[in-house]
């Protein structure tokens, strides 16, 4: 069963695909800013009974005419079966679209991130046929945002930071910076990234910190927090009416 945390970790890239290039520029990796992005079908099933779906699939058209596919996978824990699925995704995407595929894996803990980043070699020892080398985003390399101004300059990246560092002892400071930064943007944008943050934190201890921050003065959010507050408000109103 797919968790809300899993969904949020890859949906950020649908809301702002450029967050990918910006994140890796901070790591010194040469990915240019996209000039055009297309959301692609995520169904990678062939005429077989086994269904295969990548979490998010984007076509990135970069400056200079280069194009590639960005397949985003959110991984919450180690899974011995995943490398085989990822190898299938990459091979199938290349065969179907004839564009170079890039596999990006997002994680919330360092142990899972280090596991996901390992190069997987497929084939006989004497002659390996395929090497799988994902790019991984996790608490080991996503920058920490504790400055409000820095978070406000890049809300999507600050949101990704809050989610990937949700289990960090410093999570409270990161979430406070993001909450303050969300007050500097329009309500629709703030709503999207506030909900992604709540979903992405899942059951992490920091989720309660976020709910407390959001309960202050953000009634326009349609998250679990705001729905609960509205429900409580309606109940109080009915009681006062009686």
* pLDDT, tens digit, 9 for 90 and up, residues 112-140: 999 999 999 999 989 989 999 999 999 99
pTM listed for this prediction? 0.74
Edge-to-edge strand ranges of the sheet holding 34-39: 34-39, 56-62, 67-74, 101-106, 135-137
Q: Are residues 111 and 226 in the same domain?
A: no
d(CA 109, CA 111): 6
At 170 the three-state DSSP class reads coil
Assess whether 128 and 221 both reside in one domain: no
- Rg of the chain taking only CA atoms, in angstroms: 20
169 neighbors 124 (Cβ within 8 angstroms):
no
Q: Is 34 helix (H, G, I), strand (E, B) or coil?
A: strand
Q: How many domains does the chain have?
A: 2
Neighbours of 97 (CB within 10 A): 15
Q: Domain containing 173: what range?
A: 148-241
Q: Is residue 103, in this structure, part of any structural domain at all?
A: yes
Same domain, 87 and 126: yes
For residues 164 and 126, membership in a common domain is answered with: no
Instruction: Give the C-alpha separation, 167 to 76, whole Å.
Output: 12
Is residue 143 in a domain? no
User: Over the stretch 29-88, which tens digit does the pLDDT of each residue have?
Assistant: 767 677 777 777 666 554 444 445 778 888 988 877 789 998 988 898 999 999 999 999
């Amino acid at each position: 069963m797919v968790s809300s945390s899993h969904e949020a970790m890859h949906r950020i890239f649908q809301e702002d695909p450029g967050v990918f290039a910006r994140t890796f520029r901070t790591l010194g990796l040469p990915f240019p800013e996209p000039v055009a992005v297309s959301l692609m079908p995520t169904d990678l099933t062939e005429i077989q009974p086994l269904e295969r779906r990548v979490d998010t699939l984007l076509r990135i058209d970069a400056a200079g005419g280069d194009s590639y596919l960005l397949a985003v996978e959110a991984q919450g824990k180690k899974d011995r079966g995943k490398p085989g699925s990822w190898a299938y995704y990459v091979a199938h995407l290349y065969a179907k679209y004839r564009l170079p595929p890039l596999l990006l894996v997002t994680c919330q803990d360092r142990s899972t991130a280090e596991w996901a980043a390992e190069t997987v070699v497929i084939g006989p020892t004497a002659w390996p046929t395929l090497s799988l080398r994902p790019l991984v985003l996790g608490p080991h390399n996503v920058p920490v945002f504790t400055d409000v101004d820095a978070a406000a300059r890049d809300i999507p990246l600050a949101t990704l930071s809050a989610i990937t560092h949700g289990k960090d002892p410093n999570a409270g400071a990161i979430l406070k910076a993001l909450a303050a930064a969300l007050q500097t943007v329009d309500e629709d944008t703030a709503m999207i990234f506030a909900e992604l943050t709540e979903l992405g934190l899942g059951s992490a201890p920091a989720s309660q910190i976020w709910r407390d921050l959001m309960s202050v003065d953000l009634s326009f959010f349609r998250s679990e927090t705001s729905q609960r507050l509205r429900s409580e408000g309606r109940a109080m109103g009915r009681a006062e009416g009686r």
